[in-house]
Amino acid sequence: MNELPDTYRKLLDAARASVAQAFLTSPGNTAYGAAALTVEGNIFRSGQYSSFNHITNVHAEQAALLLATMAGQPDVVALAIATTAPATQYARPCGICRQVMAEHAQRTGRDFDVLMAAHHGQSCEIKRVSELLPHAWRAAGASEPVLSPAIDADQSPLQSSPIRWPLRTGDQLLLRDGSLAVVWDPLFDEELALVRVILCRTGDRWHGVPDPYLTPIAYQGQLADRGRWMTARCGARGAFVSLRDVAAVTAAQPLRVAKREHWQPLLDALLDADIGEDQVTISQTHGPAGVHAAAYCLIVVRADEPTVRWVEAALQQQFQVATELSAVSRSAAEKHGLQKALPGGIDRAHRLGRFIHLYAWPTETVELIFTPTRCGEPCLGEGWKVIGHTSIYGTVTEASNASFVRGRFQVLTAEGPFEVVTYHPLARLIRRGDCVSLSGTLVTNRGRYCLLQMHLSPDRTVWWQTATDGVLPKPDR
């Protein structure tokens, strides 16, 4: 026991304490307690909820994992269990709980420790989830983190440009810890930019990271393990960098230099919306040869809100005549698990003129994102304080800026109005009049409430009803 780190000792104490919370059908029955430690350093604990039929029990291990997940902290690094049962020397999870742990580990990408407390004394036995259930059942087609093969890091993928602050959306960064990233929001706050990490470095090798759309919890967990998951002043957690973290920058390329022939239907929609080439840059987030990230390109379009809607109207027309464009958009949605996000599926979204703006060709995936024509203000200024992870339900009352890379829209709930700031690709589907449920980090400042959505999970968007909207007319110029 003396060799255990303090965090594990506290976790065991919490599991033993939660035994007293067990909700039993009879006072003398066996009680169980469990405590889950998350990557954020918080502990969530529970006793079991017993039923008279012994079928509808809620086990303590399941309840602890559930509490952590519902608090927006599903990335569990360790789970401790304790019991009053004297039959064995150490507490043992049942088969159902082992399966639940295995599925949770699969979804987060972390094979976490299970601490099984001794019935007498202060000792415990520690096993990984995979050791407790080495041949766990897996659902057909279940997604799991897929990493690129490790490759030598002696060939730098970046041609350095002068480092300036703020950075620009689409800039590629070589960070001082060896990671490669692309800038998503250059002004999350006055000192931090939000980035999407593409590659991490270990020694003289680069490794890919889990897909942030398909396996967002695994993506967050790997960055946390490498010290790349940070907390901003407002309380939001994400892949943030400051100027001192940046070793080199490669600016996004002009469209005329980087465009591909098979992008033409997509580029035609931009031309139909009077988007000039000087408004478009391309970020090819490729590392050295052989890295999976080479197949991802980011098209960054600087536009105002009416122009964004005009582009989407042009896209809706292109989808009707260019069947390939519709197919590659559908393929991308399926690849990233987003094909059923909107009621009626991705095809109905296209008919309504709503686009996630992901396109998967056989050789690469392209993402189209919009940034305002002006640099604008930080995501959140001074004075914002975090309340915690929560969820809201209501009707979207304003959504003119939802399609930008830093999407903003308003939701009216029974408790009052909420501003939503989101980096979800699903925000590009939001329209005024939609009825939605949303989860995220709630922050407040002088009576204002803002819900921050950083990643697809644990921050979710659920549609109950969609407002119907057709092709938008071209705005007056």
Taking the C-alpha atoms of 99, 100, 104 and 109 in order, what is their torsion angle to the nearest 10 degrees? Answer: -10
Long-range contacts for 273-276 (Cβ within 8 Å, ≥24 apart)? 273/307, 273/310, 273/311, 273/313, 273/314, 273/474, 274/307, 274/310, 274/477, 275/301, 275/303, 275/307, 275/311
Domains of the chain, by residue range, sit at 6-130, 151-251, 254-371, 385-465
Measure CA 16 to chain center. 33
- Check if CATH label 2.60.120 holds for domain 254-371: no
Of 316, 352, 318, 345, nearest to 432 by C-alpha is: 352
Q: For residues 440 and 456, what is the distance between their CA atoms, to the nearest angstrom?
A: 10
Chain centroid to Cα 350, Å, comes to 24
In CATH, the architecture of 385-465 is Beta Barrel (2.40)
CATH 2.60.40.420 correct for 6-130: no
Measure the CA–CA gap between 34 and 47, rounded to whole angstroms.
6
Report strand pairing: 172-175 vs 180-185.
antiparallel
Can you tell me the distance from the alpha carbon of 359 to that of 323, in angstroms, rounded to the nearest whole number?
13
pLDDT tens track, the chain, 477 positions: 457 889 999 999 999 999 999 999 888 788 999 999 999 899 999 999 998 887 889 999 999 999 999 998 999 999 999 999 876 689 999 999 999 999 999 888 899 999 999 877 778 999 999 999 998 887 665 555 544 444 444 444 555 567 788 889 999 999 988 889 999 999 998 889 999 998 888 777 778 888 888 889 999 999 998 888 888 888 888 999 999 999 999 888 888 776 778 888 888 888 888 888 889 998 876 544 444 444 788 999 999 988 998 888 888 888 877 778 888 888 888 877 788 888 888 888 888 889 999 988 887 889 999 999 876 788 877 788 889 999 999 999 999 999 999 999 999 999 999 999 999 999 999 999 999 999 999 999 888 899 999 988 889 999 999 987 544 444 444
- CA distances (Å), origin 244, targets 102, 216, 229, 247, 259: 39, 26, 16, 8, 32
- Phi, psi at 237, each rounded to 5°: -115, 140
Q: DSSP state, 251?
A: P
Sign of CA dihedral 283, 297, 268, 469: negative
